[in-house]
Amino acid sequence: MELVYIGVLLCALGFGIIAIFVAKVLKRISNTLESLGKTLGEVETKLQYITAEIELTIKETDKIVDDVEQKLKATDSLFDTLENVGQSVSNLNTVLHHQTKNISTNKALQQAAPIAHSIQWSEVAFRLFTKWKDPSKKPKFNVKS
């Protein structure tokens, strides 16, 4: 029978040790929850202050967005004017393109030929004049056709 008492004693000691460890774990959990409760209380207090500031920021942002929208609407006429100017330039470009297409390059060269000939003859006349004025200088004629 003594064995039974020793077995019961060992079970009681084991149960007591387990109870002590469980009590320590529960105490640590209790301390952690208490610390968490204090921290959450501080967070709640700070969030009340931040919430008011965020509401003010949102209201100011809403005002700014409305102001920007009004200013953008005011620039619509400017962009319409720029579009009209662009269309006018495009139309002018089209007209000039058609007009220049009609002028042939041969006509342009033929119209420029008398000017080129007159420049050449004026150069010849200038060289003859300088030779007549100073016979020691012999100008070189480089006439290109």
CA neighbor of 141 nearest in space, from 113, 126, 116? 126
* pLDDT tens per residue across span 61-76: 999 999 999 998 888 8
Tokens of 83: 């579009």
> Residue 139: phi, psi to the nearest 5?
-70, 145
Number of residues assigned to the chain: 145
16 pLDDT tier (thresholds 50, 70, 90): very high
pLDDT averaged over every residue in the chain: 85
* pLDDT tens per residue across span 106-115: 566 677 778 8
Percent of the chain with pLDDT over 90: 38
Question: Whole-angstrom Cα distance, residue 73 to residue 79?
Answer: 10
Question: Whole-angstrom Cα distance, residue 54 to residue 20?
Answer: 49
